[in-house]
Amino acid sequence: MSPELNKAKRRLIEGEYSFVLINGDEEYVSSSKGIAPIISLLESSPELLKGASVADKVIGKAAALLLIYGGVKEIFTEVISSHGILVLESEKKIIEFEKQVQYIVNRAGTGMCPMEKRVLEIDDPTKGYQALS
């Protein structure tokens, strides 16, 4: 684990954050849920994602596609879906995770996350971004 990813992981675990990005001297943190922090960065500061180290509480296929689209270098997550792992591994991204699940569950706990479901048949990061934004 690189020093940047280690720092992002520490900030995620110690802070009240759902998402932490470290890119050189730049740092971005968010407590927003789901893919909102990634979408926000892609819309307002896409350059921050290029080559960044990211720690995120939960990564499904939607978040994975967006992080690839943004050009992140490496990722730590507490929970990752098998769909997210497949996408990240196919792009040769460095992934550290604590727990793998079959899919990300929606907030009601009744089925698959709607964002993951929306991109289930999409493997291209650009098409994923278009479907999610």
Residue from 97, 120, 123, 119 nearest 39 by CA: 119
Parse the chain into domains and list their residue ranges: 3-132
Q: Which residue has the tokens 């709607």?
A: 114
Alpha carbon distance 97, 56 (integer Å): 10
Q: Region 32-59: what's the mean pLDDT?
A: 96
Task: Please answer whether residues 37 and 10 qualify as being in contact, where contact means their C-beta atoms are separated by less than 8 angstroms.
Answer: no
Rounded to two decimals, what is the model's pTM? 0.95
Q: Region 26-49: what's the mean pLDDT?
A: 96
Task: Please answer whether residues 77 and 8 qualify as being in contact, where contact means their C-beta atoms are separated by less than 8 angstroms.
Answer: no
Alpha carbon distance 65, 127 (integer Å): 9
Q: Which CATH number fits domain 3-132: 3.30.1780.10, 3.30.365.10, 3.40.50.620, 3.40.140.30?
A: 3.40.140.30
Q: What pLDDT score does 1 carry?
A: 79
